[in-house]
Amino acid sequence: MRRGLVDYARQRLADKRGGDKTFVSLDDAGELATPSGIELIALDDALTSLAALDERQAHVVELRYFGGLSIAETAAHLGISPATVKRDWESARVWLTCQLAGG
């Protein structure tokens, strides 16, 4: 799922499709709160860096953010406790927020 979303974002940002310009129809104006392609690519880059530091935390983020799994579902999928998933999720969110903010 992550690869598909990132590839789609990269494709939308290609120069032959208008580069990084945002085209919004009036019908789509209500959906402006969704992440843009640039934000999604930055998240993918930061997630790749996180995986180099802690692969489990990166996998937790993928399952929760891209997969939409709950804490309990993520814990069952990874074979770890929900408390560990919560710790990894919080730690990864803080780390990713700092990376995406340029810190």
Rounded to two decimals, what is the model's pTM? 0.65
Class of residue 101 by CB neighbours under 10 A (exposed 0-12, middle 13-18, buried 19+)? exposed
pLDDT value, residue 8: 78
Q: Tell me, what's the pLDDT at 5?
A: 78
Residue 17, pLDDT above cutoff 60: no
pLDDT at residue 53 greater than cutoff 80? yes
Residues in the chain: 103
Residue 47 buriedness (CB in 10 A; 0-12 / 13-18 / 19+): buried
- Please report, for the chain, the start and end positions of each structural domain, with discontinuous segments joined by +: 2-100
Per-residue confidence (pLDDT) for residue 18, from 0 to 100:
57
Q: How confident is the model at residue 1 (pLDDT cuts 50, 70, 90)?
A: confident
Q: What is the pLDDT of residue 20?
A: 53
Confidence class for position 29, pLDDT limits 50, 70, 90: very low
- For residue 47, pLDDT over 80 is answered with yes
**pLDDT in the model for residue 88:** 97
Domain 2-100: give its CATH architecture: Orthogonal Bundle (1.10)
